[in-house]
């Protein structure tokens, strides 16, 4: 099995996970993965992520030119490609509309509380990117300032965007993001989300910085 064949199948598998978990309704959401230095595999537009076939995934260059595949890549291609051009170490990007996280995005609230040790280590804070029209060059540029220090962002009135060293890590960050959003909301309903104590929180943040420094 070639690397491209495997990566196409993995993108479809992640699409099924996103759809099954209710994080992308109808044809929404998009997934991409870096095949090599010049080539990105990306999902097509107007296709449910739960029912994609490997041959529907398109190969594009970093300028968005379709190299292989039929149809049109997702309308969010400019945002994906801008991420890859900005950071050569990023190997996967996932954009979806998980309900809890999207609710925070619609409310204009970042996920910046440190509530759960695992979330602090593997995700950290999730800032809010000011609204720009979906699919626009303006949205692609708006994401850039967050790429160095974060692993995920909320897109105001839109959804969530996660990236990672590969597409599976990007998806796992999406799962963690939605879990954190749910815990934050439920704990607030119960009377208030209480952050971790200062010293353990500082230690966890230091561990996170160390792991990121090693490529985590």
The catalytic position among 37, 55, 76, 168 is 76
- Of residues 127, 123, 128, the one with CA closest to residue 208: 123
Is residue 178 among the annotated active site residues?
no
34, 56 contact by CB (below 8 A): no
User: Strands 58-61 and 30-36, how do they pair?
Assistant: unpaired
Q: What is the DSSP string of 96-131?
A: E--HHHHHHHHHT--B-----HHHHHHT--B-EEPP
Is residue 96 within 8 Å of residue 29, measured between CB atoms?
yes
Which residues have a catalytic role annotated?
76
């Amino acid at each position: 099995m070639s690397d491209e064949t495997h990566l196409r199948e993995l993108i479809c598998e992640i699409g099924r996970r996103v759809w099954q978990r209710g994080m992308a309704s109808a044809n929404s959401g998009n997934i991409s993965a870096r095949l090599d230095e010049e080539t990105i595999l990306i999902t097509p537009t107007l296709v449910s992520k739960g029912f994609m076939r490997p041959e529907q995934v398109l190969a594009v260059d970093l300028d968005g030119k379709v190299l292989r595949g039929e149809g049109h890549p997702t309308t969010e291609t400019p945002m994906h490609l801008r991420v890859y051009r900005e950071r050569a170490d990023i190997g996967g990007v996932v954009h979806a509309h998980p309900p809890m996280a999207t609710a925070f995005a619609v409310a204009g609230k970042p996920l910046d509380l440190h509530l759960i040790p695992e979330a602090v280590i593997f995700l950290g804070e999730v800032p809010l990117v000011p609204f720009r029209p979906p699919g626009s060059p303006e949205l692609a540029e708006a994401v850039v300032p967050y790429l160095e220090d974060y692993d995920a962002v909320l897109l105001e009135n839109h959804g969530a965007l996660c990236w990672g060293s590969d597409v599976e890590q990007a998806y796992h960050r999406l799962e963690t993001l939605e879990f954190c959003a749910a815990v934050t909301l439920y704990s607030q309903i119960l009377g208030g989300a209480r952050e971790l104590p200062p010293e353990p929180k500082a230690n966890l943040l230091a561990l996170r910085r160390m792991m990121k420094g090693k490529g985590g």
